[in-house]
Amino acid sequence: MCSTLEKGPELQVICEVSDGFEAVQKAEELKPDLIVLDIGLPTLNGFEAARRIRKLAPESKILFLSQESSADVVQEALSLGARGYVVKANAGSELLPAVEVVFRGERFVSNSIKGYKLTEVPVAKTTHRHEVVFYSDDTVFLESFNRFIAAALKAGNGAIVVATKSHRDRLLQRLKVECVDVDGAIQQGTYISLDAADTLSSIMVNGLPDPVRFFEGVSGLIEAVSKAAKAEHSRVAFCGERVGLLWAEGKTDAAIRLEQLCNDLCKTHEVDILCAYQLSSIHGEEDEHQFQSICAEHSAVHSG
Asked if residue 289 has pLDDT above 90, the reply is: no
CATH 3.40.50.2300 residue spans of the chain: 2-116
Q: What is the pLDDT of residues 126-182, one digit of tens each?
A: 357 899 999 999 999 999 999 999 999 988 999 999 999 999 999 999 999 989 999
- As a whole number, the mean pLDDT across the chain is 87
Task: Please give the CATH number for the structural domain made up of 130-303.
Answer: 3.40.50.300
Highest CATH level, class, for 2-116:
alpha beta
Asked if residue 121 has pLDDT above 80, the reply is: no
DSSP the chain: -HHHHTTSTT-------SSHHHHHHHHHHH--SEEEE-SS-SSS-HHHHHHHHHHH-TTSEEEEEES--BHHHHHHHHHTT-SEEEEGGGHHHHHHHHHHHHHTT--EE-TT-BT--GGGS---S-SS-EEEEEESSHHHHHHHHHHHHHHHHHTT-EEEEEE-HHHHHHHHHHHHHTT--HHHHHHHTSEEEEEHHHHHHTTEETTEE-HHHHHHHHHHHHHHHHHH--STT--EEEEE-HHHHHHHTT-HHHHHHHHHHHHHHHHHSSEEEEEEEEGGG--HHHHHHHHHHHHHT-SEEEE-
CATH 3.40.50.300 residue spans of the chain: 130-303
Q: What is the pLDDT of residues 222-254, one digit of tens each?
A: 999 999 987 777 889 999 999 999 999 999 999
Among the listed ranges 84-93, 117-126, 265-274, which one has the minimum average pLDDT value?
117-126
Q: What is the pLDDT of residues 260-280, one digit of tens each?
A: 999 888 888 889 999 999 988
